[in-house]
């Protein structure tokens, strides 16, 4: 924890404590705060996460949030842009999730027509681009969805493309190489180009129970020896009974906000879990 009983956090070696923040952490020190990375160079903009979260350094995680136990595979492959990802999600390599879009009905689809300095600062360092591109600070008239949403217990297969603004429902599975341009229903399995629903993971009656229970809200560790997770109906029976009896405790993981700063990391504890 960063702060206890009103005290400032104790800074690890090489870091500086400023109020309730720690500045200048090395990538290997992030594990002490529940974020497992290789080098962490993939983090661009703020990353909000619940501990623990695992990110094996995909190409880019930009302005996104990750729920507890979510992991991202694929070293230096795959990108997440402005994604809100729930708990217990599995994201494979070479994915492209929520990438920014371009206008298709303007004179040009090139960024010179619609971008702003704050979005592409490196472009504006080139004098030729700056001369051509918008120079005002007013909002761009080209609007695109702010976020792409992934529910809890979602599995995204290798090479998947998900269009910006799409919502992937709880428990859904997106097959490898699928191109998702529309919302995906909870517990649906989708595949293809464009992605279409193949079937539900379970009968509708089971899906209804899963969505009502929302098992990802609970701490399942104390119950792992009492259940066989491969048997869905028996698992639901046990968890539903224990939830009704008050024996399932709400999972309340610590949550953090981390930003990369010249190869080091600044981190602060958030006041509550993300979910």
Domain boundaries, the chain: 16-101+144-269
Is 102 in the active site? yes
User: What does the pLDDT read at residue 2?
Assistant: 55
User: What does the pLDDT read at residue 158?
Assistant: 97
Catalytic residue among 102, 110, 152, 225: 102
What is the token pair recorded at 75? 């070293």
User: What does the pLDDT read at residue 10?
Assistant: 64
Residues in a beta bridge with 35: 53
Peptide linkage before 194 cis (omega within 30 of 0) = yes
The two beta strands, 53-55 and 79-81, are: unpaired
User: Cβ contacts of residue 9 below 8 Å, gap of 6+?
Assistant: 1, 2, 3, 17, 20, 21, 22
Q: What is the pLDDT along the chain (275 residues), one digit of tens a residue?
A: 454 444 445 677 777 888 789 999 999 999 999 999 999 999 999 999 999 999 999 999 999 999 999 999 988 899 999 999 999 999 999 999 999 999 999 999 999 999 989 889 999 999 999 999 998 777 778 888 889 999 999 999 999 999 999 999 999 999 999 999 999 999 999 999 999 999 999 999 999 999 999 999 999 999 999 999 999 999 999 999 999 999 999 999 999 999 998 889 999 999 999 99
Query: What is the rounded distance in angstroms from the CA atom of residue 172 to the CA atom of residue 143?
Result: 28
User: What does the pLDDT read at residue 8?
Assistant: 47
What is the token pair recorded at 23? 């500045």
Phi/psi of residue 238, nearest 5 degrees: -65, -45
> For 16-101+144-269, CATH number?
2.160.10.10
């Amino acid at each position: 924890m960063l702060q206890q009983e009103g005290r400032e956090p104790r800074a690890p070696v090489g870091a500086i404590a400023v109020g309730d923040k720690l500045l200048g952490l090395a990538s290997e020190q992030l594990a002490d705060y529940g974020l497992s990375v290789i080098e962490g160079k993939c983090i661009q903009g703020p990353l909000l996460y619940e501990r623990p979260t695992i990110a094996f350094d995909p190409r880019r995680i930009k302005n996104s949030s990750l729920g507890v136990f979510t992991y991202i595979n694929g070293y230096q492959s795959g990108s997440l842009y402005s994604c809100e990802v729930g708990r217990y999600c599995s994201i494979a390599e070479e994915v492209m999730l929520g990438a920014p879009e371009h206008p298709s009905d303007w004179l040009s689809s090139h960024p010179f027509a619609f971008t702003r300095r704050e979005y592409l600062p490196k472009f504006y360092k080139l004098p030729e681009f700056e001369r051509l591109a918008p120079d005002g600070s007013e909002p761009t008239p080209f609007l695109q969805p702010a976020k792409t949403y992934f529910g809890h217990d979602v599995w995204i297969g290798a090479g998947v493309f998900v269009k910006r603004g799409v919502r992937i429902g709880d428990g859904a599975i997106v097959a490898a190489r699928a191109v998702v341009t529309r919302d995906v229903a909870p517990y649906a399995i989708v595949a293809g180009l464009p992605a279409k629903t193949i079937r539900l993971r379970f009968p509708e009656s089971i899906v209804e129970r899963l969505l009502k229970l929302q098992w990802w809200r609970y701490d399942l560790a104390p119950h792992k020896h009492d259940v066989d997770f491969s048997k869905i109906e028996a698992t639901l029976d046990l968890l539903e009974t224990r939830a009704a009896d008050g024996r399932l405790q709400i999972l309340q993981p610590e949550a953090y906000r981390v930003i990369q700063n010249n190869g080091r990391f600044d981190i602060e504890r958030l006041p509550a879990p993300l979910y």
